[in-house]
Structure 1
Amino acid sequence: MEQATQTVVQPKARKVKTLNQGYWQKYGVFYLMMAPALIVIIINNYLPMAGALIAFKKITYESRSFFVNFMNGEWVGLKNFEFLFKTSDAWRITRNTVAYNLVFIVLNLIIGVAFALMFNMMRNRRLAKLHQTIMFLPFFLSWVILSYLVYAFFNPALGIMNKEILHWFGASEVEWYSDPKWWPLVLPILNTWKGIGYYAVIYLAAIIGIDKEYYEAATIDGASRMKQVWSITMPLIRPVIIVLTMLQIGRIFYADFGLFFNATRNAGALYDTTLVIDTYVYQGFLVSGNIGLSSAAGFYQAIVGFVLVLGSNFIVRRVSKDDALF
């Protein structure tokens, strides 16, 4: 009986050892190929995480080197975070940041998918490529440049909106940079106009990758174009939609600084509807010169974004395990 047991156990141990050796022989070259990129990621993405300690120190701009300031900075615990949570503007900046990003996510999803479907249905491929290029162009322009275009529209004295468009509809002129009530509508339009080409191209790439045989079979069965979209296209591009949406959810506490600072020309009269976490921290840094305050805001945004991505991925995993990001 003992001899039988020994004959079963010993080959099993040798088998595991052989499998481990075979694994590295088979995949070791791929790890070697990944090594340069992994080293760059560690140096560029992970080592700088030590800078998160700045959020718990009082570091001001001085003539000394930043490293000396960092090493000699006074530990202040969570006092830098009080700048965000105990200020009278905490609720306003948080509300604006989250609300705008939620609107941006919905618009990028609906309009991005809609344009991707339209591009895919265009019969003239050259014309479709032209439309895609024109739509993608604003994505590559900075908000510094686009802010002048926005100002050309909304300049109270010479802008196209006041001098031309509003007159066509018989409406009175608007003081765009003094009246905050219009900007909850203007900012989503500007953000969508600038970035929708990026999302449309990604969704279009996912649609093009769908096997044409699905549509041919649906056409033979008499399915209309709209029925094909709902029954074939949307289910098959759902993983791409989920990934892009989750990535945007992870940045829901971040705001596009160029959009909220340059496009609004940082007009104080608009702060009630345009002041967000990023612009508020920037202004606080200009006043106090305390780097720790800005670092605390970035650390807070990163932690919240990380938690939101984990939470949204957990929900997706419970609903559809195959569509989860990880």
Structure 2
Amino acid sequence: MAEVSFKGVKKSYGRVDVIKGVDIHVNDGEFVVFVGPSGCGKSTLLRLIAGLEDITEGILEIGSRTVNELQPKERGVAMVFQSYAIFPHMTVRENMAFGLTIAGASKQEKARKVAEAARILQMEHLLERRPSQLSGGQRQRVAIGRAITRKPSVFLFDEPLSNLDAALRMDMRMEIGRLHRQLGTTMIYVTHDQVEAMTLADKIVVLRDGQVMQIGAPMELYHEPANRFVAGFLGAPSMNFLDVEILDLDGETATVGNPSLDPIRVATRRRPFRKDGKAILGIRPQYLRAAQSGKGMLHGTVAHAERLGSETVVELTLRDGRNLIAAFDEDKIFEPGDALELTFDTALAHLFHEEE
């Protein structure tokens, strides 16, 4: 196992800066997820660790070694790709042993390590099959098994579940989590799927345009986002953002409101605001509750409702014409055109600057 550290790392292609000076530390045995929208640089960071791309500037350390100049095979890492990258003409056993074959391992060593990996992944009965005889989830297990046989210090996963259907994604997500608990090896996982990030990670690195927006434990980022981007990226449905006016300031609280929102007091969380200025109020859909007539804070009309069994998601049109999403943790019936008042715990709301 090993720690992984980025120190001022940059990556450029000609004049295009893809990674813009990042500092990230992954602890030994930690499961860290790089998450962000397409093009944010998360897969590039993974390829820098693997040695598949050269670093333009900065230092990358794996364990106690600076690896900027080391070849991929010298870094002690194993990568699991989105496309599986398994050989169709080989059996599962041969695919899982391929890295060991290249490394010149003996027949006995290959047999032992393949058997161990197959046991861990519960696929002993598949060893003589070819990839064409496997499901998508089984092919992904083969790719993971090939990585396990190499006994790497660091596992790298590049969106490994994106080719699977929803049910298989959930199964494989649980499988990867179990694998980490069993092996205790450092794992770095890239995804754009926030559910994977929230459920798998010990620590999440949120990226945007080649820069780190925030690093922290999943629930830390969920409850205390550093900016609007992080707040809106994590959570489903996404956080609501409402334009509000600062009506009053008192220490670390502000009174805010707009035509759809009765004046409320919210914490500024040490962000500097000015009276009579503008701000953005963030409220998660799950924190909104239906209120009795005349007792709500927010006022709107139901535009659309989706009953999902254990949850009902409602889109409202507010008095000022803007839309808002509420998610109720029960099966309620709402009809388009219904007037609806909402309330929420103001301690759970966030106040952001317009430019965040």
The TM-score range, normalised by the shorter chain, is under 0.3
Structure with bigger RCO (C-alpha 8 Å, 6+ apart): 1
Normalising to structure 1: TM-score of the pair? Answer: 0.20
Larger Rg: 1
Greater share of strand residues, 1 or 2? 2
